[in-house]
Amino acid sequence: MAKTFVDHEQIKKEMVSRLKKIEGQVRGVTKMIQEGRGCGEVVIQLGAIKAAVNKVGFTVLACYLAGSIEEELKEHGDMNQVLDDFMTTLKKFS
pLDDT tens-digit series, residues 60-75: 888 888 888 888 778 8
Q: 22 to each of 42, 48, 76, 92, how far by Cα in Å?
A: 14, 9, 39, 21
Give the type of residue at 92.
K
Residue 76 pLDDT > 90: no
**Contacts with 20 (C-beta within 8 Å, 6 or more apart), sequence order:** none
Kindly indicate the confidence band of residue 38, based on its pLDDT and cuts at 50, 70 and 90: very high
**pLDDT value at residue 50:** 97
DSSP state of 7: G
Architecture (CATH level 2) of domain 9-93: Up-down Bundle (1.20)
What is residue 79's three-state secondary structure? helix
Predicted TM-score of the model (pTM): 0.78
7 or 68, higher pLDDT: 68
Kindly indicate the confidence band of residue 3, based on its pLDDT and cuts at 50, 70 and 90: low
